[in-house]
């Protein structure tokens, strides 16, 4: 067989002159296909002597491998060049302003709940939770609410449906988070210091009332707890929540079935220019109810009132949010208006902290 050098050079030149993948495939078939020139020469080895097959076969194998490698390299080079050309044509100027994605916001109720929790956690209060559907024993009886109390009537409370003849205790959508206090005392005993935030339900609907709203209850039980400690706790809370240096609270005698004595708590404020300013002025604003835990409530929770005593208070979270952030209508909290939420909502990173500022 003649020298393979001219054949090698012929196919290498054809490979180098191919300008696209289709041309490369055409060269491959002409050289290495079943009827390709190099493949046909491989078939001629059968007519040669053993010595010729050994020498020429080695040369043909080397030529086939070299041409195959050159084909692959040229094909890869052409594909890279095609990609570069495509990228040059389909370029994107990433310096152009993009379309901002809608950002989620934290609802003011969630934010204020976190603020309140942060403040009371700093005072040593743990968070307690309970079911929103309660038996009337936890919601009324254990809290010293008499059977004839108006809250136990259907025009004030959402009672769960019962089939005729069902003798199980009636259940209600809880009207306050006070039942959580009973459950917490039953589970943990005394001493105890907890807050219980959550949803509550009552039959009411106007600019300042909704059928579902949010409350947070506070409870502290010990051997020597007094109204003075209740007053200090509430003053520290108001000072931190409204982020003012001084506050003045006024306790007015009131009546709650589950506390004795009981007191409504007002805070000194002013409404200059329609804006609430806490700690100054000549006006008073009612913000919560409180008192010393009634002995009946302690006994219902399995705690001896002759050995233990304590205070409790209840705060409307929705009302506090309205006061602090100037929200005029309670009903807007539940209307799912994204425009309202963008105006009053909080960014996801606005985590309340006493050191960094509650509403920073």
What's the pLDDT tens digit per position in 166-213? 778 888 999 999 999 999 999 999 999 999 999 999 877 665 567 888
SS3 160: coil
* Relative orientation angle of helices 50-89 and 5-17, to the nearest 10 degrees: 10
Using one digit for the tens of pLDDT, what is the confidence trace for 63-109?
788 888 888 888 888 888 888 888 888 777 677 676 776 677 888 99
Strand-strand pairing, 133-135 and 126-127: unpaired
In this predicted structure, the answer to whether residue 127 has a pLDDT above a threshold of 50 is yes
Q: Which of 19, 10, 20, 18 is nearest to 63 (CA)?
A: 10
- Residue 96: what pLDDT? 66
- Residue 191: what pLDDT? 95
Alpha-carbon span 12 to 24, nearest angstrom: 11
Most confident of 152-156, 279-283, 352-356: 279-283
- Residue 72: what pLDDT? 86
Mean pLDDT (whole number) for 139-144: 91
Alpha-carbon span 126 to 194, nearest angstrom: 5
In this predicted structure, the answer to whether residue 143 has a pLDDT above a threshold of 90 is yes
What is the helix, strand, coil percentage profile of the chain, to 5?
45, 20, 35
- pTM for this one? 0.67
Q: Which token pair is 262?
A: 């009981």
The kind and range of the H/E element at 316 are: strand 309-316
Average of per-residue pLDDT values in the chain: 85
SS3 256: strand
The kind and range of the H/E element at 108 are: helix 108-122
Map tokens 């939420």 to a residue: 341
- Residue 142: what pLDDT? 93
Looking at residue 355, what DSSP letter applies?
Answer: T
Map tokens 């339900």 to a residue: 201
SS3 119: helix
Which positions ≥6 away from 154 have C-beta within 8 Å?
A: 203
Lowest mean pLDDT among 97-106, 127-136, 283-292, 305-314: 97-106
The answer to whether domain 108-344 has CATH 1.10.20.10 is no
Using one digit for the tens of pLDDT, what is the confidence trace for 261-284?
999 999 998 887 777 788 888 889
Q: Which of 155, 126, 125, 158 is nearest to 139 (CA)?
A: 158
- Residue 1: what pLDDT? 47
């Amino acid at each position: 067989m003649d020298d393979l050098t001219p054949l090698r050079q012929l196919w290498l030149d054809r490979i180098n002159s191919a300008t696209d993948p289709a041309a490369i495939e055409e060269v491959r078939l002409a050289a290495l296909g079943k009827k390709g020139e190099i493949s046909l020469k491989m078939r001629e080895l059968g007519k040669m002597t053993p010595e010729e097959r050994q020498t020429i076969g080695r040369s043909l194998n080397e030529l086939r491998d070299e041409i195959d490698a050159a084909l692959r390299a040229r094909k890869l080079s052409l594909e890279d060049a095609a990609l570069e050309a495509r990228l040059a044509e389909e370029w994107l100027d990433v310096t152009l302003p993009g379309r901002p994605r809608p950002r989620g916001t934290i609802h003011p109720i969630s934010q204020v709940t976190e603020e309140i929790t942060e403040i009371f956690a700093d005072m040593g209060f743990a968070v307690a939770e309970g079911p929103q559907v309660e038996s009337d024993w936890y919601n009324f009886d254990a809290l010293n609410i008499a059977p004839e109390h108006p809250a136990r009537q259907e025009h004030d409370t959402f009672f769960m449906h019962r089939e005729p003849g069902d003798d199980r205790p009636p259940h209600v959508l809880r009207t306050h988070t006070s039942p959580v206090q009973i459950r917490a005392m039953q589970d943990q005993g005394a001493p105890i210091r907890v807050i219980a935030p959550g949803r509550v339900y009552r039959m009411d609907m106007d600019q300042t009332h909704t059928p579902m709203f949010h409350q947070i209850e506070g409870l502290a039980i010990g051997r020597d707890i007094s109204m003075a400690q209740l007053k200090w706790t509430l003053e520290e809370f108001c000072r931190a929540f409204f982020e003012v240096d001084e506050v003045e609270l006024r306790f007015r005698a009131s009546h709650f079935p589950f506390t004795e004595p009981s007191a409504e708590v007002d805070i000194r404020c002013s409404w200059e220019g329609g804006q609430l300013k806490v700690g100054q002025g000549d006006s008073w604003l009612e913000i919560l109810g409180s008192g010393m835990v009634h002995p009946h409530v302690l006994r219902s929770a399995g705690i001896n009132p002759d050995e233990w005593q304590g205070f409790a208070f209840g705060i409307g979270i929705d009302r506090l949010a309205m006061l602090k952030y100037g929200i005029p209508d309670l009903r807007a909290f539940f209307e799912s208006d994204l425009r309202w939420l963008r105006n009053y909502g909080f960014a996801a990173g606005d985590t309340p902290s006493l050191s960094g500022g509650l509403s920073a």
